[in-house]
Amino acid sequence: MTTAPRTTPTETDVAVLHLLLQLIAGTYRSPADALRDDLVSGALAEACAALAEALDLDAPGLLAPDWTTLQASYIDLFVSSGNGIAAPPYVGYAIDGELMGPSAQLLGAAFSDHGIELQDAWSDLPDHVAAVAEGGTLLAHGARPEAALALLEGYLAPWFERYATAIEAKDVSGFYGPMTKFLQAAIKEVTREARS
C-alpha cells in the first residue's frame, strides 16, 4: 500500500521529479530529430548523469546507437513486431489489460481537472507513456509536484513494473533497454525518497 508524500517537496525534489518525467517523455516518444539531436549533442547523457547523481544511481551506459536501428527497435518494442511487441506503450493497459479502460479514463479525468488536455496533433492514445510523462512535467512545473508524484507512482511505475524486463530483453538498439532499466530505478528511488 502506498501513501501520499508526507512533506512538502523541496525545490530540488521538484527539479529531480521534473527531469525524470522529461526523460521518460523523451525516451518513449516516437524517435524523431529532437531525440537524435540530444543523443548526438550529449545532452541526453548529461541529463541522465545529473539524475543519477541526484539519486545515487549509476547512469545508464548508453551505446552510441545507430539511428536506423534505434528507430526500428522502437517499432519492434512498442508499435508492431512479428514476434509480438515487448510493451504496449499505454499506462492504462498495463494496469487494466484494456485499452481506454478505467485507469485511462481516471487518468484523463485527472489531467482534465488539472487543466491539461491533449493537443489536436497528438494522434495516439491519451495514456501513451510519453504523453502521460509529458503531462507530468507540466504538473511538476505548475506547482503541483505532489500530483506529479502520484502520477509517477500510480500510473507510470506500474507500466515499468509490467514491461521493463521485456523491454530490456528484447531491445537491440542499446538505448531502450538501458534507459528503461535506469528510469525504473529512478522512479523507485524518487518514490522511496518521497515516502521516507
User: Looking only at residues 122 through 141 of this chain, which bind another protein when binding is defined by CB under 8 A?
Assistant: 122-126, 128, 130-131, 134-135, 137-139
Q: Minimum Å distance from CB 179 to another protein?
A: 13
Long-range contacts of 100-103 (CB under 8 A, 24+ apart): 100/125, 100/127, 103/127, 103/155
* Crossing angle (nearest 10°) for helices 157-170 and 176-195: 150
C-alpha cell at 30: 516516437
Q: Which stretch binds another protein (CB under 8 A): 59-67, 114-122, 170-178?
A: 114-122
Buried-state track 75-98, b at ≥16 Cβ within 10 A, e below 16: ebbbeeeeeebbbbbbbbbbbbee
Q: Minimum Å distance from CB 64 to another protein?
A: 17
Q: Is 66 in the site for another protein (CB under 8 A)?
A: no
Q: Minimum Å distance from CB 174 to another protein?
A: 18
Task: For another protein, give the closer residue by CB, 126 or 177.
Answer: 126
Considering only residues 84 through 103, tell me which ones interact with another protein, judged by CB under 8 A. Answer: 84, 88, 94-100, 102-103
Cα angle: 172, vertex 170, 42; to 5 degrees: 45
Considering only residues 150 through 189, tell me which ones interact with another protein, judged by CB under 8 A. Answer: 150-151, 153-154, 158, 162
